[in-house]
Amino acid sequence: MSVIYLLISISIFVAVAFFIAFIVAVRSGQYDDDYTPSVRMLFDDEIKPQKEIQTEEKQN
């Protein structure tokens, strides 16, 4: 029975340690996305429906 208490206490300690490490990583900017904003401008163009493309071709 004492082994169960030991395992539970160790698992809670490990979980708290990982949680603290996660909080520190988030606050230090580890998960900030620096790549996507620089590439986002490449994908901002809207795709026109096929009908609009055909009507524009007929007008020209």
Give me the helices (H) in the chain, please.
Answer: 2-27, 36-40, 50-59
What pLDDT score does 6 carry? 96
Structure tokens at 36: 């996507």
Would the pLDDT of 24 be above 60? yes
* Average pLDDT of the residues of the chain: 82
CA distance 60 to 51: 15
CA distance 24 to 18: 10
pTM above 0.85, yes or no: no
Distance, first Cα to last Cα, the chain? 85
What pLDDT score does 28 carry? 92
